[in-house]
Homo-oligomer: A and B are copies of this chain.
Amino acid sequence: MASASSNRSERVLAAVPTEADQDVYRALAANAAKGVGVVTARQGRWDVAVTITDHLSISYDPPTMLVSLYALSRIAEAVTQADRWALSLLPDSLRPTADWLGEQGSPLVGLLGQVPHFRRDADGPALIDGALAWFELRTTAVHEAATHVLVVGEVVAMGSAAEPGAEPLVRFRSEYR
Contact = CB atoms under 8 A, between A and B. Distances in A.
Q: How large is the interface on A (under 10, 10 to 19, 20 to 34, 35 or more residues)?
A: 35 or more
A95 interface: no
A117 B56 CA distance: 27
Interface in A112-151: 112-118, 120, 129-130, 132-133, 135, 140-141, 143, 145-148, 150
A10 B159 CA distance: 4
Contact of A117 (B3, B7, B145, B148): B3
A9 interface: yes
Nearest to A89: B31
Nearest to A34: B35
Given A17-B63, A58-B146, A58-B148, A129 B3 contact: yes
B5 A160 contact: no
B31 A133 contact: yes
A62 B17 CA distance: 6
Contacts of A28: 133, 135, 158-160
Contact of A147 (B59, B65, B68, B129): B59
Interface string A152-170: 1001111111111000101
Given A3-B117, A17-B63, A130-B5, A57 B29 contact: yes
B146 A59 contact: yes
B33 A168 contact: yes
